[in-house]
Amino acid sequence: MTRILVFLEHDENGVTDLSLQALALAGSLGGEVEALLVGQSLAAAVEVALAHGAAQVLTVEHATLANYLAGPVSSVVAAVVTERDPVLVLFQASTVGNDLAPLTAGRLEAACLVDCDGVERAGNSWRLLRTEFDARVRAAYQPEGTGPVLVTLKDGVAEVRATAGGGDVIPLDLSPAGGATGEVLRREVVKKTVNLKDARVIVGGGAGVGSRENFALLERLAEKLGGEIGATRASVDAGWVSAERQIGQTGVTVKPDLYIACGISGAVQHLVGIRDARTVVGINSDPSAPIFRVSHYRIVGDLTSVVPKLIELLG
């Protein structure tokens, strides 16, 4: 029986959606699905894992694992992989998974690939699929040799599935390897209050918006269109808008019917988050801004005059 181990990320909102997608994908590949939870106070997360297809949930509870940090967590994950001997280990393509999987692979000298958007069986091995070169090609990778294969999975690999539940919980008596490993001093994260993923209309604001007052203009436009506000990292960093609205590589991926990009240059780290937007309107004073390459409507102009006009026209 092939065993697939799924590392689950969890935070104060519970097990992450990407983690549940990974569980669903593991279930579809056939074999015995084991989930791994590392941290502290894991009871609620265990229940969620059991209700989403994990035949077994392995837990490692330890005070020093309360805050994710690559070093200690990967020492534990490496020990679990060695002990349970899975053929495939699934992680999430997040700032945790893309941090943890390669380090664990380095420790184990195992095969690893990040940012996959598909995993298929290929005989006794796997075919790992990944979108590359600005979504121009789909690359297929083939792990070679023996030993576990570590993979991080992007949003959208599978539909989250609730299952009948049941299954065993196996607490593992492991502690992070000793030695100096570092410390998370503090986190500045915002609580999630909006669901940009399901928004039909998003008005995105970038550095070109220029001020919090101008950002209020975008909010009015979004309101008129029944949409939400989105942002680039630049405007989040400027403090005009909360980090939960950041779209892109380290933000959320959205798929609205309409995305209005205001004062956004169109850096690849932002564009990866709006690739599935149906219609894109770009408003930018620079006629050669890269955002126009993905825009269905191109408005070259100053957003502080264009946006008020749009609001006015909307009545």
Ligand X SMILES: Cc1cc2nc3c(=O)[nH]c(=O)nc-3n(C[C@H](O)[C@H](O)[C@H](O)COP(=O)(O)OP(=O)(O)OC[C@H]3O[C@@H](n4cnc5c(N)ncnc54)[C@H](O)[C@@H]3O)c2cc1C
- Pairing label, strands 32-39, 3-7: parallel
Stretch 236-275 residues interacting with ligand X (CB under 6 A): 246-251, 263-265, 267, 269-270
Binding of residue 96 to ligand X (CB under 6 A): no
The interface partner of residue 174, options being another protein, ligand X, none and the CB cut-off 5 to 8 Å by kind, is none
Stretch 113-132 residues interacting with another protein (CB under 8 A): 113-115, 127, 130-132
Question: What's CA 268's distance to the chain center, in Å?
Answer: 16
Candidate list 43, 66, 135, 216; residue touching another protein; CB under 8 A:
135
Backbone angles phi, psi at 242, to 5 degrees: -75, 150
Candidate list 53, 102, 256, 263; residue touching another protein; CB under 8 A:
102
- CA dist 19 and 35 (Å) reads 10
Q: Is 38 exposed, middle or buried (0-12, 13-18, 19+ CB in 10 A)?
A: buried
- CA dist 271 and 256 (Å) reads 13
Binding of residue 181 to another protein (CB under 8 A): yes
Stretch 248-267 residues interacting with another protein (CB under 8 A): 249-251, 258
The interface partner of residue 69, options being another protein, ligand X, none and the CB cut-off 5 to 8 Å by kind, is another protein
Residue with Cβ nearer another protein (55 or 105)? 105
Candidate list 235, 254, 260, 292; residue touching ligand X; CB under 6 A:
235
Adjacency order of strands within the sheet including 56-61: 111-116, 149-153, 88-92, 3-7, 32-39, 56-61, 168-171
Binding of residue 22 to ligand X (CB under 6 A): no
The interface partner of residue 208, options being another protein, ligand X, none and the CB cut-off 5 to 8 Å by kind, is ligand X
The interface partner of residue 53, options being ligand X, another protein, none and the CB cut-off 5 to 8 Å by kind, is none
Angle at alpha carbon of residue 110, lines to 108 and 112, rounded to 5°? 125
CA distances, 273 to each of 205, 225, 240 (Å): 14, 21, 20
Residue with Cβ nearer another protein (63 or 184)? 184
231 near 257, Cβ under 8 Å? Answer: no
Residue with Cβ nearer ligand X (53 or 282)? 282
The interface partner of residue 180, options being ligand X, another protein, none and the CB cut-off 5 to 8 Å by kind, is another protein
Build a one-symbol-per-residue string for 55-74: x at contacts with another protein by CB under 8 A, - elsewhere: --------------xxx--x
Backbone angles phi, psi at 94, to 5 degrees: -130, 180
Stretch 136-175 residues interacting with another protein (CB under 8 A): 136-145, 147
Binding of residue 16 to ligand X (CB under 6 A): no
- CA dist 310 and 189 (Å) reads 33
Binding of residue 104 to ligand X (CB under 6 A): no
108: left (phi over 0), alpha (psi -120 to 50) or beta: alpha
Candidate list 234, 258, 280, 281; residue touching ligand X; CB under 6 A:
234
Computed on alpha carbons and rounded to an integer, the radius of gyration of the chain in Å comes to 22
Size of the site for ligand X (CB under 6 A): 27
Q: Which residues bind ligand X (CB under 6 A)?
A: 206-208, 232-235, 246-251, 263-265, 267, 269-270, 283-286, 289, 302-304
